[in-house]
Amino acid sequence: MRFSPKRTQSVAVLVTCTVAIILVVAFVRYRIRRRIDSDSADVLLQRADDLAWNGQWFAAAPLFRQAEKKFTAERNWPKALYAQVSQIPAYGESASLADTIYSLTQDLKKPEAANSETRLRILEVRGMIENNYDASLARQTWGQVAVLARDRGHLLLASRALGEEGISAFLLGDTATAKKEVLTAWGVAKVAHDIPAQVRYASLYGAGLVEMHRFQQGLKPLDEAIAIARAHPAVAYPAVAISSKIDALRGLHRYQEALTLANQALAEIPSPSLKGHYYQILTSRASVYEDIGQWDSAIADFKQALSFAMQLDYWRGLTLAAGGLADAYVHQRKFNAALSSIDQAIDANKRIPDELYFVPRDLAIKARILALLGRQDQAGELYRKSALLIDSLLENVPTPFVERLLLTETGEVYAGYFILKCREHEYDQALRILEEARGRIEAQALEHHDYPAPHAPTPAERHLTMLNVAFLDTDNAATRQALSEQVQDFESALDQRSLASSTIEHPVSLDHLESDLAKDELFVEYVLADPHSYALAVTRTSARAYELDARTKIEADANGYRASIRDQHANSTLGNALFHELLGKIPEYREHSTLILVPDGELDLLPFGAVTDKGVPLIESHTIATSPSATVFSILENKRAVDADPPLPYLGVAAWTKEAKVEGPVFRLFSGLSAGGLTPLPESRTEVETIASDLPKPSTLLLGPDATAARFTRLPLSKFNVLHLALHGYVDANYPDESALVFAPEHKNLYESMLQVRQIRNLHLDARLVTLSACDTGVGPVGEEGVDNIVNAFIEAGADSVVSTLWELEDHTTEHLMAEFYARLGKGESKAEALRDAQRELIKEGVKPYYWASFELVGDPNGTI
């Protein structure tokens, strides 16, 4: 068939159009397929994971939510669960931490969690939440993450998990392990070019240094974190590094730089949706404004931070910011506005009823505001309410961190109540309030706690939570009575023979305390607080409270002076300043030659005898002893008056006697649980043998390998008048019950050689004197009234007096001082006088305070042995 040219042209056009249509359809189909693929569950999950890996959990949350829906529709349950738990880091702050951890733990039991990647993600998220709840749980979880990540070939995640273990170690007080693990993770991140991990661990390492007040050192890693984050916009905004740097600059008093940084940081936050970052920087900037007294600016920042917290349902943050706002209003004397703000903080805390831990503090703030308004009765009632709530919350304390928080709040609440009564000159009631607080704190320390893992609340726990919330909402007498009965059940479980029980149930009265004092004795009980601290000074014929400087100033000077002595360059300016701050305002000091002191806070670690009055150490003019409380002092004083001396004069123990060839001084220092790290103390044998020669016979000595904890505890300890233990000491600041004296190991098991605080408390002693010639035995966790240390354990066990130390000791000088001390005891001097004269002898010999000031006498200062 022949085609005409015209027909041929038409066919060509038709073919061309057809091909074009086919190509367009194919292209459209390709784009549709590509769009469908890009919106697939797996693609969404990958995009979300990329964001989460960079720390952008908030931006990742909507993608995880979409992926969860798609996987659920596909019935892909492991990936649906993976996507579901991955949303928690973005929104977890609005829920109960314990409930969230429990929920994640239950997720691990689901069949879909058998998938390794899903299980790994659940553990990773649980570890993140546990970081803010219980560092011990977090450390265990991150250890599981590290193992599973290595098994799955996720080596960078395994390295990050090691870094998180280091963060947990820091929160647990193990700074050496923390430094090692965080620096290792940081180093791996640098080698592997893991930018988000570099930012995180540089941030947290610097933040840790700032937390330890090493402000200048903290600036370098924080600057590195901020610079790296700015150079890599895909990485999460470095809010931790920025807020920690602001705190560091505050600590260095470089306020203008801190404000400039805060202003720049607020301008650089990449998205208005990142409200949590705005909150964090605003509260940091508000603290700077507080430091420099710009209260209007501080109030504006706290208000704005509150707004962001409310938008996020961030109830914990709202509680903290509202408390700061109330304090700022108080400084402007806008008391009604302050009341409104603190009520807002209390209401916010009730949104998570199983976490009412900040409410007692907020009630105390409200009480202080009411007192400033002249409403003393209402203030007193709020202090009592706060104290009862603390007792109730301690019933089911979930973690060591929460316990420490509540015990610290106990001190703050009772301090405020004490100050209220001092200002009304009701000194007897003020003393009873203070004694009750110290007794309750010590009672909590006496109980060994097994903290429960997060779990579904029991009926009893739900009932107690309901009572707590109802108690906040009303002053109904029936509710108060029900809550009081719960607390009484706890108190009735205490050993009624313990000093803690006696202090709670029968705190010493002012009249009784006065009658217990000799004519030359001045009793001073300190209460540190801001903006003013107080000292209650009691003599045989008088009692009076004195207003002192702020807690922050006193504790800074005390820490600085102690550090200067330990560096063997005692700062005389600080020594003189401390005398003025602690005793210079108390005229009774000049009229009495013996001081019995009850320290508070960081003063527990202060060597009072080395404090100087115009350059002269106090022990040159005064005999000094300390006591855990007025009630304990009174009990020990009356006990000495009625008890006969035990029949066996002396027990001496020296475990680490093996000669060692070492250069320089040998220190009684124990760091870590390794027998290889325990330095021999060759002069400790001479020490205990020399003491035996100064005291009546017969003597009992445990020396070298015979000085085991088992042999010591098998002795009739209640029959010894004097116990002298020349041993290594170990202090566990996070778990004080595990602080210990270290005896000779049996079967090469160092743990069996440790006599821990909880074991010491259960010894039955009747000793007039226990001497702990070991390092750091007088040290306990500050912020809990100093009750949880080895010294107080021996007092609880029945010792009248304990000589202890506040830092590591040099072996030769220790032996020399102890020989002087016991020689004077053997001549009939009282315990406090003998220690004072032994220290003065070293002063005469030109020995630096470092070598003699560490020793202190706790308990009964009087009586001979």
Length of the chain: 865
Pairing of strands 616-617, 623-626: unpaired
Banded pLDDT at 782 (limits 50, 70, 90): very low
Query: What DSSP line would sit under 347-370, residue for residue?
Result: HHHTTSTT--TTHHHHHHHHHHHH
- Has residue 26 got a pLDDT over 60? no
CA distance 22 to 15: 10
Residue 340: per-residue pLDDT: 95
The pLDDT tens digits of the residues spanning 161-203 come to 999 999 988 887 777 788 899 999 999 999 999 999 999 999 9
Does the pLDDT of residue 475 top 60, yes or no? yes
pLDDT(602) > 50: yes
pLDDT score of 15: 42
d(CA 845, CA 858): 26
- Name the band, by pLDDT with cuts 50, 70 and 90, for residue 783: very low
pLDDT tens digit string along 66-76?
A: 999 999 999 99
pLDDT band at 8; cut points 50, 70, 90? very low
The pLDDT score that the predictor gives to residue 542 is: 95
At 550-576, the pLDDT tens digits run: 999 999 999 999 999 988 889 999 999
Lowest mean pLDDT among 48-57, 423-432, 634-643, 708-717: 634-643
**What are the tens digits of pLDDT across the range 569-595?**
899 999 999 999 999 999 999 999 999
> What is the reported pLDDT for 792?
83
pLDDT tens, residue by residue, 151-164: 999 999 999 999 99
Which H helix or E strand runs over 702? strand 699-703
User: What's the pLDDT score for residue 3?
Assistant: 39
- φ/ψ of 379, rounded to 5, equals -65, -45
pLDDT at residue number 449: 56
For the chain, percent of residues with pLDDT exceeding 90: 50
Q: Tell me, what's the pLDDT at 34?
A: 42
Mean pLDDT of 118-136: 92
- Which is more confidently placed, 863 or 124? 124
Helices (H) then strands (E): counts for the chain = 36, 16
Residue, of 396 and 659, whose pLDDT is higher:
396
- Convert the pLDDT of each residue in 255-273 to its tens digit: 999 999 999 999 999 888 8
Confidence bin at 611 (pLDDT 50/70/90): very high
152, 120 Cβ separation under 8 angstroms? yes
Closest CA to 463 of 491, 482, 450, 478: 482
What is the rounded average pLDDT for all residues in the chain? 83
Q: What is the mean predicted confidence (pLDDT) over 598-615?
A: 92
Kindly tell me if the per-residue pLDDT of 18 is higher than 80.
Answer: no
| The pLDDT of residue 386 is above 90 | no
For the cut 50, the answer to whether the pLDDT of residue 31 exceeds it is no
Nearest CA-CA partner of 537 in 598, 491, 579:
598
User: What distance in Å separates the CA atoms of residue 738 and residue 744, rounded to the nearest whole number?
Assistant: 17
pLDDT digit string (tens) for 312-370?
888 888 888 999 999 999 999 999 999 999 999 998 888 877 778 888 889 999 999 99
392-396, 408-412, 723-727: which range is least confident on average? 392-396
Residue 777 has pLDDT above 70, yes or no: no
d(CA 259, CA 245): 11
Mean pLDDT of all residues in 16-29: 47
Stronger pLDDT, 487 or 763, i.e. the higher one: 763
Name which residue leads in pLDDT, 355 or 836: 836
Q: Are the beta carbons of 391 and 487 closer than 8 angstroms?
A: yes
The pLDDT value recorded for residue 91 is 81
Report whether pLDDT(547) > 60.
yes
CA distance 96 to 467: 18
Average pLDDT (211-218) is 89
**pLDDT for residue 451:** 66
Phi-psi region of 704 (alpha: psi -120 to 50; beta: other; left: phi over 0): left
Q: Where does 92-194 have alpha helices with state H?
A: 97-107, 116-131, 135-151, 155-171, 175-191
Which one-letter amino acid corresponds to residue 317? G
Kindly report which listed range (57-61, 240-244, 461-465, 490-494) carries the lowest average pLDDT score.
Answer: 490-494
How many CA atoms are closer than 13 Å to the CA of 297, on its beta-carbon side? 15
- The pLDDT assigned to 5 comes to 46
The stretch 809-819 carries a mean pLDDT of: 76
In this predicted structure, the answer to whether residue 669 has a pLDDT above a threshold of 80 is no
Q: Give the model's confidence band at 448: pLDDT under 50 very low, under 70 low, under 90 confident, else very high.
A: low
What percent of the chain stands above pLDDT 70?
A: 81
> pLDDT value at position 785?
35
pLDDT of 674 above 70: no
Alpha carbons 91 and 94: distance in angstroms, whole number: 6
| 3-class SS string, 656-686 | CCCCCCCCCCCECCCCCCCHHHCCCCCHHHH
Q: At what angle do helices 275-291 and 295-312 cross, to 10 degrees?
A: 160
Pull the structure tokens for residue 292: 């420099």
Comparing 466-470, 564-568, 628-632, the range with the smallest average pLDDT is 466-470
Average pLDDT for residues 829-838, to the nearest whole number? 94
